[in-house]
Amino acid sequence: MLLGLSLSTFTTVHVAISLIGIFSGIVVLIAMLAGKNLDVWTAIFLGTTVLTSVTGFMFPSSGFTPAQGVGTLSLVVLAAAILAFYIFRLAGVWRWVYVIGASIALYFNVFVAVTQGFQKLSFLQPLAPTQSEPPFLVAQLIVLAVFIALCVKALRAFHPRVGASA
């Protein structure tokens, strides 16, 4: 029992939080690409993405796993993004810290979603049963390339007035 929930229910809650984090992160990234700052969507994204990483550590495991490594890295970049957004209000270099941190956190969520897709979806699992086969690697490289391109575009486009939101 995790937080008083069965493993199945806890997994469902974790996945729901993750999907909200991905969806809200996409909204935030699109807004950044348009040069806009969406405070409510940003709070939802950052909060659910932190919860995704934290709840990921609550699953039973017999040691430190790659998923926990991604969760740890995600929490580090989220801490920087949260500081940049809420404490330093995107002033100066903190705009870059926020855009890069938020983009990396969203990328990690999508990276894990792709991994889970190859592990759990019956039409993808045979293509890469160990996640070391070319279809998995190509899919992850495409996701990485898209996120790098979007992050660079967001860095160029996102120049909100400090403390202002759309």
Q: Is the pLDDT of residue 150 over 80?
A: yes
Q: What tokens were used for 41?
A: 């969507």
pLDDT > 70 in the chain, percent: 96
**How much is the pLDDT for 3?**
80
Q: Is the pLDDT of residue 5 over 60?
A: yes
Q: What tokens were used for 17?
A: 């939080």
Q: How are the residues of the chain apportioned to helix, strand and coil, as percentages rounded to the nearest 5?
A: 75, 0, 25
With vertex at residue 52, the alpha carbon angle to CA 144 and CA 126, rounded to the nearest 5 degrees, is 55
pLDDT > 90 in the chain, percent: 92
**How much is the pLDDT for 1?**
62
Q: Is the pLDDT of residue 160 over 90?
A: no
Give per-residue pLDDT as tens, 90-100: 999 999 999 99
Hey, which residues does 2 pair with through a beta bridge? Answer: 5
Q: Is the pLDDT of residue 121 over 90?
A: yes
**How much is the pLDDT for 162?**
54
Q: Is the pLDDT of residue 163 over 90?
A: no
What residue type is assigned to position 91 of the chain? A
Q: How confident is the model at residue 4 (pLDDT cuts 50, 70, 90)?
A: confident
**How much is the pLDDT for 2?**
74
Q: Which residue has the higher pLDDT, 160 or 133?
A: 133
Q: Where are the domains of the chain?
A: 7-157
The mean pLDDT value of the chain amounts to 94
